[in-house]
Copies of this chain bind each other. A is one copy, B any other.
Amino acid sequence: MSDDHWVPPTVLLAVDLVILTLRESRLQVLLIERGIEPYQGALALPGGFLGHEKEDLVTAAHRELAEEAGLGPDQLHLEQLGLYGAPDRDPRGRVVSAAYLAIAPRLPEPVAGTDASQACWTPVTQALSGNAQLAFDHEQILTDGIDRAREKLERSALATAFCGPTFTIAELQDVYEAVWGVRLDPRNFYRKVQSVDGFIVSAGPSRKAEGGRPARLFRPGPRTTLHPPMTRPQGQADKETA
């Protein structure tokens, strides 16, 4: 804002992904083992630089999603998480990273990634336990992503993104219990979920028996925001997105 010939600095723009899913009733995140420096051999969130000068951010996120996780844009929730741009976060230079949060339904065991052979699902408790050191500031990004997911489960229909096209109420409850890390009363959950107008709609009195009485199937409803919200028990945690 002073010189006429002043030129603003340029930066490298990367896209990093927090891809969450539910496996074995546990919240898991997709991590890859880095093949190149820096942080070679360490675990990291999938991601990469912008493909070309004109590539859209969401497009880049979807491209990485396909390259590194083999996930198509269908049946998948994707939202921007935030921008991580500390000057010293990447030793190679000034790299700012747009983090995206993706929620994937249960999918076949192998990741089937074309690009990253070392991609693997990891329980988030393990990824954040401190034992597995993550590259860059990815631990912070992952924490923020999980926090976001936890919050959005309260007020939005995000939970259905963890499920397939149809699901039972018990499966939906599994999502809430795994992401929030709490136990919920099935009866009250049943009542609550059905009382929220437009959250889930019946998908035929079908069956999917497995040891007990067959459960009814549901599909995601038209509502994306929940009124009243789902309430998380004793969530007294005092955190901020400052």
Which of A20-28, A173-181, A205-213, A230-238 has 4 or more CB atoms under 8 Å from chain B?
A230-238
Tell me the minimal C-beta distance from A224 to chain B in angstroms: 5
**Interface of chain A, main secondary structure:** loop
Which of A81-89, A105-113, A128-136, A183-191 has 4 or more CB atoms under 8 Å from chain B?
A81-89
CB-based contact B94/A54 at 8 Å: yes
Tell me the minimal C-beta distance from A141 to chain B in angstroms: 13
With A1-B67, A9-B50, A223-B238 in contact, is A83–B56 under 8 Å at CB? no
Let me know if A225 is at the binding interface, CB within 8 A.
yes
Expressed in whole angstroms, the Cα–Cα distance for A240 and B156 within the complex equals 8
Let me know if A12 is at the binding interface, CB within 8 A.
yes
Expressed in whole angstroms, the Cα–Cα distance for A57 and B236 within the complex equals 30
With A1-B115, A10-B10, A49-B8 in contact, is A87–B54 under 8 Å at CB? yes
Tell me the minimal C-beta distance from A179 to chain B in angstroms: 17
Let me know if A239 is at the binding interface, CB within 8 A.
yes
Residues on B with beta carbons closer than 8 Å to the beta carbon of A224: 238-240
Number of identical protomers: 2
Chain A interface residue count, CB cutoff 8 Å, equals 44
Residues on B with beta carbons closer than 8 Å to the beta carbon of A9: 13, 49-50, 52-53
Expressed in whole angstroms, the Cα–Cα distance for A115 and B1 within the complex equals 9
With A1-B48, A48-B1 in contact, is A56–B12 under 8 Å at CB? no
Let me know if A98 is at the binding interface, CB within 8 A.
yes
CB-based contact A82/B82 at 8 Å: yes
With A10-B10, A56-B86 in contact, is A241–B50 under 8 Å at CB? no
* 12-45 of chain A: CB within 8 A of chain B: 12-14
Let me know if A163 is at the binding interface, CB within 8 A.
no
CB-based contact B223/A227 at 8 Å: no
Expressed in whole angstroms, the Cα–Cα distance for A54 and B53 within the complex equals 22
Let me know if A137 is at the binding interface, CB within 8 A.
no
Query: Within the complex, which residue of B10, B57, B98, B225 is in contact with A237, where a contact is CB–CB below 8 Å?
Result: B225
- Nearest B residue to A93 via CB reads B53
With A11-B13, A52-B9, A224-B238 in contact, is A85–B98 under 8 Å at CB? yes
